[in-house]
């Protein structure tokens, strides 16, 4: 069966087979509540499908982290666990491999549908995956896919498709020489928002994408926040539904 991985879950042999095989299930397409998205990934060099906006934003976040070298691989609908080995059959939305070789299994959910029962299932899956050396994460529209991060990532990706590389390279050189500058100062120096967004997507300049971007937002030659830690951080409690409530 093409969906079965006949090696130990979490092993390097298993990972190699997962990454070389096609996605284990086809997404169902448009439904009453979700829209099917298909986005081109420069990292995997093909179109990648996503079910609903949250999964699409998660895909953009993974593409961004891959472009920065923070993850080495990612894949959608990557594998199916078996009842015999895992105790239940689930298909995570994404798999990612960190630069430190950590394997992440990622579920993407709408926070309003996470009840106490759903959270208990997520916690059970997290504990079970940990036994195989896999870090299991639940990404929601509240954390880490917050409103500002969603908006900024979408704009960064969109404008990078339009802004010439020469413009963002010029901004890269400017902030490398002058240091971090407020957006308003960069406008005075002849750089517009599109250039800043494109440079940020290309890893040539940085702002804090988890915050609203405005005139006083600093743009720096170095990252201003640890976005990989936000996405893949070691704190398991940070992904809890109950703790998410305090983030609203």
- Mean pLDDT (whole number) for 122-133: 96
Q: What is the distance between the alpha carbons of residues 40 and 125, in angstroms, rounded to a whole number?
A: 30
How many CA atoms within 13 Å lie on the side-chain side of 36? 10
pLDDT of residue 31: 62
Residue 238 pLDDT > 70:
no
In the sheet that holds 94-98, the strands lie side by side as: 71-76, 94-98, 103-109, 134-140
pLDDT of residue 237: 38
Q: What is the distance between the alpha carbons of residues 187 and 180, in angstroms, rounded to a whole number?
A: 13
- Mean pLDDT (whole number) for 153-170: 97
Residue 1 pLDDT > 60:
no
Burial classification of residue 223, based on how many CB atoms lie within 10 Å of its CB (0-12 exposed, 13-18 middle, 19 or more buried): middle
Among residues 76, 77, 242, which one has the least CA distance to residue 143? 242
pLDDT digits (tens, 9 = 90+) for 97-118: 999 999 999 999 999 999 999 9
- Mean pLDDT (whole number) for 111-140: 96
Percent of the chain past pLDDT 70, that is, above it, reads 89
Cβ proximity of 222 and 208 under 8 Å: no
pLDDT of residue 34: 74
The three-state secondary structure class of 122 is helix
Among residues 135, 138, 60, 53, which one has the least CA distance to residue 93? 138
What are the two backbone dihedrals, phi and then psi, of residue 240, each rounded to the nearest 5 degrees?
A: -70, 140
pLDDT of residue 233: 81
Among residues 82, 27, 84, 80, which one has the least CA distance to residue 56? 27
What are the two backbone dihedrals, phi and then psi, of residue 214, each rounded to the nearest 5 degrees?
A: -150, -175
Domains and CATH numbers, the chain: 12-141 (3.40.1350.10), 147-228 (no CATH)
pLDDT of residue 32: 54
pLDDT of residue 33: 63
- Mean pLDDT (whole number) for 137-141: 97
Q: What is the distance between the alpha carbons of residues 65 and 94, in angstroms, rounded to a whole number?
A: 14
34-43, 69-78, 175-184: lowest mean pLDDT where? 34-43
- Mean pLDDT (whole number) for 29-54: 85
Cβ proximity of 5 and 18 under 8 Å: yes
Tell me the DSSP string of 145-178: S-HHHHHHHHHHHHHHTTS-HHHHHHHHHHHHHH
- Mean pLDDT (whole number) for 61-86: 96
State the Cα angle at 10 between 242 and 66, rounded to 5°.
70
30-44, 54-68, 199-213, 219-233: lowest mean pLDDT where? 30-44
Classify strands 94-98 and 103-109 as parallel, antiparallel or unpaired.
Answer: antiparallel
Q: What is the pTM of this model?
A: 0.89
Q: What is the DSSP letter of 7?
A: S
Q: Both tokens of residue 65? A: 């982290």
Q: Residue 5's pLDDT band (boundaries 50, 70, 90)?
A: very low
Query: What average pLDDT is seen over the chain?
Result: 90
């Amino acid at each position: 069966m093409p969906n079965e991985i006949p090696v130990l879950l979490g092993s390097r042999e298993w990972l190699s087979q997962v990454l070389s095989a096609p996605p284990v299930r086809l997404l169902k397409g448009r439904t009453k509540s979700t829209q099917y998205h298909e986005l081109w990934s420069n990292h995997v060099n093909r179109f990648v499908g996503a079910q609903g906006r949250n999964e699409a934003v998660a895909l953009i976040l993974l593409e961004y982290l891959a472009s920065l070298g923070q993850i080495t691989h990612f894949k959608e609908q990557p594998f199916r666990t078996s009842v015999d080995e895992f105790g239940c059959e689930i298909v995570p939305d994404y798999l990612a491999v960190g630069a430190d070789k950590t394997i992440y299994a990622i579920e993407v959910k709408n926070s309003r549908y996470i009840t106490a029962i759903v959270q208990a299932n997520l916690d059970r899956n997290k504990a079970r995956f940990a036994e195989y050396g896999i870090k299991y994460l639940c990404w929601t529209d509240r954390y880490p896919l917050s409103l500002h991060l969603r908006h900024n990532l979408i704009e960064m990706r969109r404008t990078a498709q339009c802004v010439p590389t020469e413009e963002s390279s010029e901004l890269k050189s400017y902030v490398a020489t002058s240091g971090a500058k407020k957006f308003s100062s960069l406008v005075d120096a002849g750089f517009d928002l599109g250039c800043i967004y494109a440079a940020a997507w290309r890893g040539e300049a940085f702002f804090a994408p988890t915050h609203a971007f405005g005139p006083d937002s600093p743009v720096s030659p170095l990252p201003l926040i640890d976005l990989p830690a936000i996405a893949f951080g070691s704190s398991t409690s940070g992904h809890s539904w109950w703790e998410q409530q305090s983030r609203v």
